[in-house]
Amino acid sequence: MTLAAPPDGEGIDIAGITQVFRGADREVRALDAFDLKIRSGEFLSIVGPSGCGKSTLLRIVAGLLRPSGGTVTIAGSRVERPQTAIGFVFQSPTLLEWRSVLDNVMLQIEMRGLEPAAYLDRARSLLASVGLAEFENAYPRELSGGMRQRTAIIRGLIHDPPLLLMDEPFGALDALTREQMRIDLETLWLTSHKTVIFVTHSVDEAVLLSDRVVVMSPRPGRIERIIEIDLPRPRGIEARDAASFTQATRAITEIFLARGVLKRGAG
């Protein structure tokens, strides 16, 4: 299979994406007429109910799934096959248990046929930036859940991709670790200026990380609203006290209440 590397420096144009999955006895429309333009260097989050096509959309952008209709264009080039100049981080870190932290990060380089020696300093620098400098020789079984996920994120960044796709990377973490991971990710993004598409079920997380939040409808996934986030960066713990944080989270919550995704409690 020939892999395509998306050019650097321009945005992403998602135009009229529809995705239909057909089985033996039924048809599932996951996405319907999805249109979105993403700016180069933007941190954009997508939030929506389970089954609304968020992960499907990431796979289409990555070129891992051909859409039933519509196109994705990255920096002027249409996505028609799997992309190589991207980083992809999943909810599960999927580390190799017999490789150390550093070796798990360097696996990305080996699989791409790149020269490992040229990336060792970068790997160590990135690991240090997320507090893993002392653990580069540790094995996954010796790490906490947050440390394993930090390793997976660095593995997704080691080859310096212009685009990072993140599919609920903090979903399996406890609340305190998740908050620290959110702060660490923002720090990495502020220094790298990469384009990030971040899928999450957490409204708070989406608002605190993003320049814009795309709110999706229940299946078939459509855009209900795009909300610009007016919060100064960096956004530490105190960002939750800002009026603009409260306004944005309330606006998203009201959309989900109106669509029946959330229900108000008794009283």
Measured CA distances, 254 to 121, 207, 213, 257 (Å): 47, 14, 14, 5
Q: Whole-angstrom Cα distance, residue 216 to residue 156?
A: 26
Contacts (Cβ under 8 Å, ≥6 apart) of 76 = 7, 10
pLDDT of res. 9: 47
Q: Phi-psi region for residue 11, left (φ > 0), alpha (ψ -120 to 50) or beta?
A: beta
Question: HEC profile for the chain?
Answer: CCCECCCCCCCEEEEEEEEEEECCCCEEEEEEEEEEEECCCCEEEEECCCCCCHHHHHHHHCCCCCCCEEEEEECCEECCCCECCEEEECCCCCCCCCCCHHHHHHHHHHHCCCCHHHCHHHHHHHHHHCCCHHHCCCCHHHCCHHHHHHHHHHHHHCCCCCEEEEECCCCCCCHHHHHHHHHHHHHHHHHHCCEEEEEECCHHHHHHHCCEEEEECCCCECEEEEEECCCCCCCCHHHHHCHHHHHHHHHHHHHHHHCCCCCCCCC
Chain position carrying tokens 């944080």: 245
pLDDT of res. 84: 87
pLDDT of res. 266: 62
pLDDT in tens, the chain (267 residues): 334 444 444 699 999 999 999 887 889 999 999 999 999 999 999 999 988 999 999 999 999 999 999 999 998 999 999 988 899 998 889 999 999 999 999 999 999 999 999 999 999 999 999 999 999 999 999 999 999 999 999 999 999 999 999 999 998 888 999 999 999 999 999 998 899 999 999 999 999 999 999 999 999 999 999 999 999 999 999 999 999 999 999 999 999 999 888 888 765
pLDDT of res. 6: 41
Q: CA torsion 251→253→257→263, rounded to 10°? A: -150
Measured CA distances, 1 to 81, 83, 161 (Å): 9, 11, 20
pLDDT of res. 193: 86
Statement: the pTM of the whole predicted model exceeds 0.85: yes
78: which strand partners? 73
